[in-house]
Amino acid sequence: MYDCTDIKSFSGVMVFCEAREGKINTTSFELLSEGRKLADDLGTELSGLLIGKDVKGLAGQIGGYGADKVYVVESPLLETYTTDAYTKVISDVVHEKKPEILLIGATNIGRDLGPRCAARLHTGLTADATHLDIDTGKYLDFLRESSTIDVDSMKWDMEDKGLKMTRPAFGGHLMATIICPRFRPQMSTVRPGVLKCAEFDQAKADSVVIEELKTDLSDADLKTRVLEVVKETKEIVDLLGAEVIVSVGQGIAKDPEKGIALASELAEVLGGGVVGASRAAVDAGFISGDHQVGQTGKTVRPHI
Does 223 score more than 90 pLDDT? Answer: no
Does 229 score more than 70 pLDDT? Answer: yes
Contact 15, 103 (CB under 8 A): yes
Matching CATH number, 7-221, of 3.40.50.2300, 3.40.50.620, 3.40.50.11540, 3.40.50.2000: 3.40.50.620
Query: For the purposes of burial, counting CB atoms within 10 Å of the CB of 202, is it exposed (0-12), middle (13-18) or buried (19 or more)?
Result: exposed
Contact 99, 38 (CB under 8 A): no
d(CA 175, CA 303): 6
Does 300 score more than 50 pLDDT? Answer: no
Does 237 score more than 90 pLDDT? Answer: no
The pLDDT value recorded for residue 205 is 94
The pLDDT value recorded for residue 270 is 84
The pLDDT value recorded for residue 301 is 34
d(CA 217, CA 60): 25
Instruction: Quickly state the pLDDT bin for 94 (edges 50, 70, 90).
Output: very high
Q: Which amino acid is it at 188?
A: S
Closest Cα partner for 276 from 245, 300, 298? 245
User: 125-134, 188-197, 210-219, 236-245 — which is least confidently predicted?
Assistant: 236-245
The pLDDT value recorded for residue 201 is 94
Phi, psi dihedrals of residue 291, rounded to the nearest 5°: -85, 135
Angle at 55 between CA 51 and CA 60, to 5 degrees: 105
Contact 134, 43 (CB under 8 A): no
Instruction: Quickly state the pLDDT bin for 297 (edges 50, 70, 90).
Output: very low
d(CA 90, CA 115): 12
Instruction: Quickly state the pLDDT bin for 160 (edges 50, 70, 90).
Output: very high
d(CA 30, CA 214): 27
- Strand locations in the chain, DSSP E? 13-17, 19-20, 23-24, 46-52, 69-74, 101-105, 125-129, 131-133, 164-169, 174-178, 186-190, 209-212, 245-248, 274-278, 294-296
> Where does CATH 3.40.50.620 sit in the chain?
7-221
Distance of CA 98 to the CA centre of its chain: 20
**Residues 10-16, mean pLDDT to the nearest whole number:** 97
Tens digit of each residue's pLDDT (9 = 90 or more) over 123-154: 999 999 999 999 999 999 999 998 888 999 99
